[in-house]
Amino acid sequence: MSTTESRNTNPSNGGKIVERMDFDRKDPYSQEHINRYRYFLDVCRQRGVSGRVLDLACGLGQGTQILANHFDAATGVDIDPNSIEEARKYNIRDNVCYQVDDATTFEISGETNAFMSAETIEHLTAEQARKFVGRVSRVTTDLAFFTTPNRPVAAGINPPNPFHLHEFDEEELRILLGEFFGRVEINYQGYSGEFATRKNNFSHDVAEKKARSSSFVKAGIRLVYQPIKPFLPDSMRNRISARAMETILGAKFPNLTVDDLVIKQEQSSSADPFIAHTLIAICQDPIKSF
């Protein structure tokens, strides 16, 4: 599987562009996504939530398969028919099913005990996000779980992700979810303080070496790479940047390991410069509005 998010246009879903994470268990960035599902399961076990689960924006369905280890029935929903076709092809469980549907209008029979949606809400406009959460609160009985990029951290990404229509900071996310759930807890996923230190040291090293680089190198970056950078897929842009910095500047980006992947209930502190790039919202006591 691809280790980064892939993007494709599918005429069968109205020509909408979808952003997809394919799991590769050897890749830390894929493992980070898997960890969201495992954390959701841990929360459900601790709070006695079981029965039926809905995994919205399930992609190729690997996460839905993980949820099926605990729940009696798991339904994966995605807007992309090709992804659902692949998910059905490789489904190995009798208690899993998949369906094609949209985040703001999805339909299920009855209700679901638990709801999971990882890295979805940022792909909606603010108005669509409100409809989405309202729909979730109406069909969920026990617990809903959302993950989304933490806007203050995501804002530092250049160029910004063109597939994200509205990113949230913690306060804005709390306000939205609090309109539809009586209890909202925010946890944080990110990189360890040790990785943050390695990354900061790397950034300082690159800045110093760029300042000392030749005018030829600076011109090449400005005239060749910068104009095409916004149009490159994430995986290609990251590979080019890493290779260029290592080859031209002699600076190697620090490796991210599974030990650097952290989920916490509190934000970072001066003693622990934890990079909380993702907000995890655990919602209970749905406010039913029809």
**Domains in the chain: ranges and CATH:** 5-192+276-286 (3.40.50.150), 193-247 (no CATH)
Which pLDDT belongs to residue 3?
Answer: 33
Residues 76, 54: Cα–Cα separation, whole Å: 6
Tell me which residue has tokens 């031209």. Answer: 248
CA-nearest of 154, 13, 106, 27 to 5 is: 27
CA-nearest of 108, 102, 80 to 22 is: 80
Backbone phi, then psi, for 132, in 5-degree steps? Answer: -60, -50
Average pLDDT of the chain to the nearest whole number: 83
Percentage of the chain beyond pLDDT 70 is 80
Backbone phi, then psi, for 14, in 5-degree steps? Answer: 80, 15
More confident residue, 156 or 181: 181
- What H or E segment, with its residue span, contains residue 286? strand 275-286
What are the tokens at 55? 């995994």
pLDDT tens column, 246-255? 676 666 777 7
pLDDT(208) > 80: no
Residues 124, 18: Cα–Cα separation, whole Å: 12
**Mean pLDDT to the nearest integer, 134-140:** 96
Percentage of the chain beyond pLDDT 90 is 51
Tell me which residue has tokens 């949209």. Answer: 102
**Interstrand relation of 275-286 and 181-191 (parallel, antiparallel or unpaired):** antiparallel
Residues 168, 89: Cα–Cα separation, whole Å: 35
Backbone phi, then psi, for 171, in 5-degree steps? Answer: -65, -45
Using 50, 70 and 90 to split pLDDT, how confident is the model at 13? very low
Using 50, 70 and 90 to split pLDDT, how confident is the model at 234? low
Which pLDDT belongs to residue 5?
Answer: 43
pLDDT tens column, 60-85? 999 999 999 999 999 999 999 999 99
**Mean pLDDT to the nearest integer, 261-290:** 81
Which pLDDT belongs to residue 235?
Answer: 60
